[in-house]
Structure 1
Amino acid sequence: MSRKQAGIFSRISTYWSAFGSRLHAASWARVFVGCIMVLIVGAVLHLTTLAKFIVTISILNKLFLRHRAESRQLSCSDLRLQISLMEK
């Protein structure tokens, strides 16, 4: 390694260690706040996803029950038609 490269490497390591020591003082607080933020955002996203899922299931359930009721009405009217045809 040449002297110029060694000087650049030394300068970078000096800046990096100074940055690291400044960062280390507040790093645990930042990590803690970051974890809390991630948990809050995750909980909100989870609850909204769960709410969307529940709404979707309830809509599908209503549609299915409506379809079953309509099919029962059709089958009753078909039975009435068959009975009236048999009576004739």
Structure 2
Amino acid sequence: MTIESILGAIVIGAVIGALGRLLLPGRQPIGWILTIVVGIVAALVGTAIAQVLGVATTPGIDWIELVMQVVLAVIGVGVVAGIRGRSGG
């Protein structure tokens, strides 16, 4: 794993996490670091699901894969916000 791939994962995770957070209505009691972590996990899981489902990899933007990643980020942010909200942290 190179430094470029790590930085790329952080940037993509930040974008995916931010989109998930913006699409989730209301205020979420989680910080941006946790949002980025949720975004990275959502991006990785979304890519894995897209590969299992046979979504074709295209030279441009893979819109179906991107939608899967953002939906997973919305779910992930909601779950983390719910857990953090209940625990008071």
- Please indicate, yes or no, whether the TM-score normalized by the shorter chain is above 0.5: no
Q: TM-score, normalised by structure 2?
A: 0.32
Whichever of the two has the greater Rg, that structure is: 1
TM-score normalized by the length of structure 1? 0.32
The structure that is helix-richer by fraction is 1
> Which gives a bigger RCO, structure 1 or 2 (Cα 8 Å, sep 6+)?
2
